């Protein structure tokens, strides 16, 4: 039986394993490495692992940032997880299940997991927390926290001030991770609404595609603001139907992440939408991107979840039509603007 009051080790003794050598995983590994912690970084790409070892730089995903000497990259999951107590999972959502199945074979009973994955599995429509719950032993699952919020890896790596949210069942574990990550430029707030934090982090990417498409079509700032606001309404609708607290979406993992992803040039999902609005085809856009735009796959899951929970999601549905039914983005906007008139608050 899991002991909720079980104490965790002092931070100076903490060894960390980061699972995923993308931009976000690398940035978090570097943050902790610069704090003096020993960090093992599991990297999928053999060539990238070699480059990080030799050049101390992730040239694939975080170009230009010299990495802490406390980071040890490896292609071996077994080697990466040896002696670690905190495991940061930073894999794309569409490969999360396979990663967790492999990681689970190497986890010690006292493991603490920090999930920074944003998305919803296509086939099962499960959030990352639901995948963890399905695969992990109860004790480890209850020691898992979920991090989300308005953060870009490049800005964290550059030590620019950012804030985010971590949600967990166990407040002691949440506060431990809050302090573990705390620096003068990286601030975490704790919360208990895991579902809300994950839904906000996943669905904002879908709305960002819509906002980018609007910008690509040249529709201006007012249109983008309307899409962000009405997109938030859809996130709250679906979140509430799935058991989230609507208040969560007024915070960093909700409107904070939504605004950032819909407006910033560093946003991969906004970039996808922008290029769609400019007339490019989705296949060509994705072929030209090394990093994953989570919103493309998440759109399919969100569309199916809307049908499952019988929730009205007009913006998300139009993004689905653009991505998966080759709908012209301009026609999608016409559909949104010509819907029957309604009260803003039902």
As annotated, the active-site residues are 204
Radius of gyration of the CA atoms of the chain, in A: 20
Give 223's contacts (C-beta < 8 A, 6+ positions apart): 214, 333
Exposure string over 237-255, b if 16+ CB within 10 A, otherwise e: bbbbebebbeebbebbbbb
CA dist list (Å): 192 to 31, 165, 168, 169, 242: 24, 10, 5, 6, 15
Exposure string over 43-59, b if 16+ CB within 10 A, otherwise e: beeeebbebbeeeeebe
Q: Which two tokens stand for residue 149?
A: 């919020």
CB 44 within 8 A of CB 208: no
The Cα 103–Cα 147 span in angstroms is 19
Q: Which of 197, 196, 180 is nearest to 188 (CA)?
A: 180
Which residues sit opposite 187 in a β-bridge? 163
Q: Which of 137, 189, 146 is nearest to 169 (CA)?
A: 146
């Amino acid at each position: 039986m899991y002991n909720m009051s079980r104490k965790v080790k002092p931070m100076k003794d903490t060894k960390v394993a980061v699972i995923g050598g993308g931009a976000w995983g690398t940035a978090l590994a570097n943050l902790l490495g610069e704090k003096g912690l020993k960090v093992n970084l599991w990297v999928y790409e053999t060539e990238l692992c070699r480059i990080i070892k030799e050049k101390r730089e992730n040239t694939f995903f975080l170009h230009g940032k010299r990495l802490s000497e406390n980071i040890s990259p490896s292609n071996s999951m077994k080697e990466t997880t040896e002696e670690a107590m905190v495991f940061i999972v930073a894999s794309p959502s569409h490969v999360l299940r396979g990663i967790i199945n492999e990681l689970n074979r190497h986890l010690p009973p006292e493991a603490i997991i920090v999930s920074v994955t944003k998305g919803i599995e296509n086939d099962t429509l499960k959030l990352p927390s639901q995948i963890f719950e399905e695969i992990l032993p109860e004790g480890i699952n209850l020691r898992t926290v979920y991090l989300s919020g308005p953060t870009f890896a490049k800005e964290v790596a550059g030590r620019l001030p950012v804030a985010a949210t971590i949600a967990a069942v166990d407040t002691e574990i949440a506060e431990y991770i809050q302090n573990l990550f705390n620096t003068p430029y990286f601030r975490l707030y704790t919360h208990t609404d895991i579902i809300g934090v994950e839904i906000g982090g996943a669905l904002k990417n879908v709305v960002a595609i819509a906002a980018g498409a609007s910008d690509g079509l040249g529709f201006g700032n007012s249109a983008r603001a309307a899409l962000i606001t009405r997109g938030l309404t859809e996130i709250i609708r679906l979140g509430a139907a799935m058991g989230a607290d609507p208040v969560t979406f007024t915070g960093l993992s909700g409107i904070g992440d939504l605004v950032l992803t819909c407006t910033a040039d560093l946003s991969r999902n906004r970039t996808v939408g922008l290029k769609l609005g400019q007339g490019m085809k989705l296949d060509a856009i994705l072929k030209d991107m090394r990093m994953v735009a989570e919103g493309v796959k998440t759109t399919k899951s969100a569309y199916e979840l809307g049908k499952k929970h019988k929730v009205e999601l007009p913006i998300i549905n139009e993004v689905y039509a653009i991505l998966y039914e080759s709908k012209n983005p301009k026609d999608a906007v016409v559909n949104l603007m010509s819907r029957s008139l309604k009260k803003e608050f039902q």
